[in-house]
Chains A and B, each alone.
Chain A
C-alpha cells in the first residue's frame, strides 16, 4: 500500500482544489508537530476555530465545528499556514502576540467574554480566574470562568495558560499541567517554574 500513498496524496490535492472551487470546503485542518507534542489545528472562514492537543480532533469540538459550518471540514494544511507559522515563531520565542483571527462564534456570550479577557493578558504575565471573571462582567463567576477556560477551543493563541488560581497554584489546563508549565517557562525566559505554580499575582 505504501506505493499508493503519494498517488493518494496527489489525488487528494486535486480533490481539495476542486472542492474549494465549488465552495464545499468551509474548514481546513492540519497537524503540527509542536514542542508540546502534536496539535490538531482547524481554520474556518473567520479564523482559527480549534487547536487541540493530539493528532485527532476532540469529538465535542468537531461537533461544534460541524454545527457552525456543516460537514465541509477537510484536511487542508494550506488553510492553516498562517497560524502554523505564527505558532512556530511563538515556540521559537520570536513571537509575543498572535495576529491571526480567532473564531469564537459558536460559543456562548459569557464564554466569549472570558476568552476575550484572556486574550488581553500580555505575554509572560499571569492573572487569575477571578480577574478574568470580573473583566467578563461577573466577578463572582470565577468557577464558571475556570470552566470556560478549561473548554477553551483555541489554547496557546488564546492564552488560557496565563490564568492561574488565586492561591498561586497553576489551576488546570486542557493540555495537561506540564504543558501549561512549559508555556509559562517559555514566556518567562529561563525562569524556573515551581511545581505548585507561582506566588500570588498582584494583578
Chain B
C-alpha cells in the first residue's frame, strides 16, 4: 500500500471525524494534517487491513493533544457542516453542549453517536476498554441531554 492510497481511501472520513470532534474548520485542517503526517512518519501501519482503526486512534490522540494545548471557541458556521440539526435542538445548543464535554467524553460521543461506530471501535480509538468506552458515551449523553433540555 502507498501513502496516497491510504490518504485517498480514508481522508474524507477522517476529516469529517476531526471536524465533528473540534467543530472548527481550522482545527480540523490542523488535525487532519497532524494525523496523516503522524501516520506517514510511523509507516507502515501496524496491521494490514486495520488502517482505518489505526487512523482513528491517531486522530483521537492528536485531538486530545490539541485540546490540551489550546481551547478555542467554535464558529457556528463550521458546526453546521459537522452536526445535523434535528428535534428542535439548535446547532448552537448542540455546539455548546458538545464543546463543554471533557475531551475523552467528547471523542467517545462523536465516535459513537455521530459516527455510529461500535463500542469496540470507540474503545480502540480511545485506547480504553469497551466498558470504559460505554461509560464515557453514557456520561457524555447525559450531559448533552441536560444541556439541550
Of A8, A15, A24, which one neighbours B12 at CB under 8 angstroms? A8
A24 in contact with B28 (CB, 8 Å): no
B33 in contact with A66 (CB, 8 Å): no
Q: How large is the interface on B (under 10, 10 to 19, 20 to 34, 35 or more residues)?
A: 20 to 34
Give residues 6-20 of B contacting A (CB, 8 Å): 7-8, 11-12, 15-16, 19
A71 in contact with B3 (CB, 8 Å): yes
Q: Please count how many residues in chain A sit with their CB below 8 Å of the partner chain's CB atoms.
A: 24
A73 (CB) vs chain B CBs: closest residue: B2
B37 at the interface (CB under 8 A from A): yes
A75 in contact with B37 (CB, 8 Å): no
Contacts of B15 in A (CB 8 A): 4, 7-8, 11
B16 in contact with A14 (CB, 8 Å): no
Contacts of B7 in A (CB 8 A): 12, 15, 74-75
Of A14, A65, A72, A73, which one neighbours B33 at CB under 8 angstroms? A14
Interface string of A94-115 (1 = CB under 8 A from B): 0000000000000000000000
A42 (CB) vs chain B CBs: closest residue: B4
B40 in contact with A19 (CB, 8 Å): yes
Count contacts between A and B, CB distance < 8 Å.
69
B40 in contact with A24 (CB, 8 Å): yes
Contacts of A8 in B (CB 8 A): 11-12, 15, 32
Complex CA gap A31/B79 in Å reads 33
A139 at the interface (CB under 8 A from B): no
B16 in contact with A1 (CB, 8 Å): yes
Of B4, B11, B19, B36, which one neighbours A73 at CB under 8 angstroms? B4
Contacts of A15 in B (CB 8 A): 7, 32-33, 36-37
Known: A7-B81, A14-B33. 12 other contacts (CB 8 A): A4-B19, A8-B11, A15-B7, A18-B33, A18-B37, A24-B3, A71-B40, A71-B43, A72-B3, A72-B40, A74-B2, A74-B3
Report 10 cross-chain contacts, Cβ distance below 8 Å, ordered by A residue. Answer: A1-B16, A7-B81, A8-B11, A8-B32, A11-B32, A11-B33, A12-B11, A15-B33, A24-B41, A75-B7
